[in-house]
């Protein structure tokens, strides 16, 4: 079984466990709270008491600032207080990236007029993907919504952020050298406090349906 297939199987196993836990919790709770993810193994953690949140879920997306497709500075300060979905692509990719971008457009359609939901695509080839290149890519393949940001910047900083903050490569996130090429199909759902609340296979339409549903749930419950 290939690496991508194996990771997809593991993702569905974790999704099944998460959904089972959500079903059990829903019997005792009026809301279907999304889990938190505090480590790269993506074991779901459920917190009902917000007073325990800081201690129980210390992991947050670290501060960052890169350059967006319009040549402006954009980073974590722009995302605080908002829900965002992150993924990692490169414009010359002909394998999974076009499918990922097409699927992200489905998310864009649902939330393009919602300022509380942002989409963030980090390039993993920043030495090739300048703001001008990213802007052309965005205009060609997306609805060109203002709340979808394509970011470029220092390679090492992007790779470190992807692996250590977003856990983008899951279980291998901490084992790869920073010079190893970053290529992942994952979409990460992050809440208003910059905590990870979901992981999805960006090449699968069914996963996008779940992501959209989870964004609605997260936006509704604000928790």
Give the pLDDT score at 4.
46
Give the pLDDT score at 173.
42
More confident residue, 8 or 71: 71
Query: 18 near 202, Cβ under 8 Å?
Result: no
What is the average pLDDT across 170-187?
Answer: 67
| pLDDT tens for each residue of 105-162 | 999 999 999 999 999 999 999 999 999 999 999 999 999 999 999 999 999 999 999 9
Give the pLDDT score at 179.
59
Nearest CA to 57 out of 31, 86, 37 is that of 37
Give the pLDDT score at 223.
56
Query: 221 near 117, Cβ under 8 Å?
Result: no
The token duo for 185 is 């199909």
Give the pLDDT score at 92.
94
Give the pLDDT score at 141.
94
Q: What is the 3-state secondary structure (H, E, C) of the chain?
A: CCHHHHHHHHHHHHHHHHHHHHHHHHCCCCCCCCCEECCCCCCEECCCCHHHHHHHCCCCCCCCEEEECCCCEEEHHHHCCCEEEEEEECCCCCCCHHHHHHHHHHHHHHHCCCCCEEEEEEECCCCCCCHHHHHHHHHHHCCCCCCEEEEECCHHHHHHHHHHHCCCCHHHCCCCCCCCCCCCCEEEEECCCCCEEEEEECCCHHHHHHHHHHHHHHHHHCC
Which strand ranges, in their side-by-side order, compose the sheet holding 148-152?
44-45, 36-37, 196-201, 186-190, 83-89, 117-123, 148-152, 65-68, 73-75
Query: 157 near 172, Cβ under 8 Å?
Result: no
What is the average pLDDT across 189-199?
Answer: 97
State which residues form the domain around 210.
3-221
What CATH number is associated with residue 139?
3.40.30.10
Q: What is the pLDDT confidence band of residue 11, given thresholds at 50, 70 and 90?
A: low
DSSP state of 146: T
The span from the CA of 205 to the CA of 212, in Å, is 11
Does residue 14 have a pLDDT over 90?
no
Q: What is the pTM assigned to this prediction? A: 0.84
Q: What is the pLDDT confidence band of residue 15, given thresholds at 50, 70 and 90?
A: low
Give the pLDDT score at 95.
87
| pLDDT tens for each residue of 34-89 | 999 999 999 999 988 888 899 999 999 999 999 999 999 999 999 999 999 999 99
What is the average pLDDT across 167-190?
Answer: 73
Nearest CA to 103 out of 6, 214, 212 is that of 212
Does residue 10 have a pLDDT over 60?
no
The total domain count for the chain is: 1
In the block, tokens 């393009």 appear at 112
């Amino acid at each position: 079984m290939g690496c991508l297939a194996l990771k997809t199987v593991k993702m569905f196993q974790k999704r099944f466990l998460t959904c089972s836990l959500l079903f059990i919790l829903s019997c005792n709770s009026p809301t279907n709270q999304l889990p938190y993810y505090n480590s790269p193994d993506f074991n779901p953690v459920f917190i009902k008491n917000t007073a325990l949140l800081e201690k129980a879920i210390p992991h947050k997306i670290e501060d960052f600032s890169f350059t967006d497709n319009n040549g402006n500075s954009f980073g974590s300060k722009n995302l605080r207080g908002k829900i965002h979905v992150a993924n990692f692509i490169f414009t010359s990719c002909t394998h999974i990236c076009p499918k990922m971008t097409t699927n992200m457009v489905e998310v864009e359609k649902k939330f393009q007029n919602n300022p509380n939901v942002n989409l963030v695509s980090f390039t993993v080839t920043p030495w090739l993907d300048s703001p001008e290149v990213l802007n052309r890519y965005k205009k060609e393949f997306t609805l060109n919504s203002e709340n979808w940001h394509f970011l470029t910047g220092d390679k090492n900083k992007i790779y470190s952020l992807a692996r250590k903050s977003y856990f983008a490569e899951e279980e291998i996130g901490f084992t790869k050298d920073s010079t190893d090429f970053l290529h992942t199909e994952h979409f990460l759902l992050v809440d208003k406090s910059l905590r990870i609340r979901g992981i999805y296979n960006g090449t699968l339409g069914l996963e996008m349906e779940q992501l959209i549903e989870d964004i609605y749930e997260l936006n509704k419950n604000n928790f």
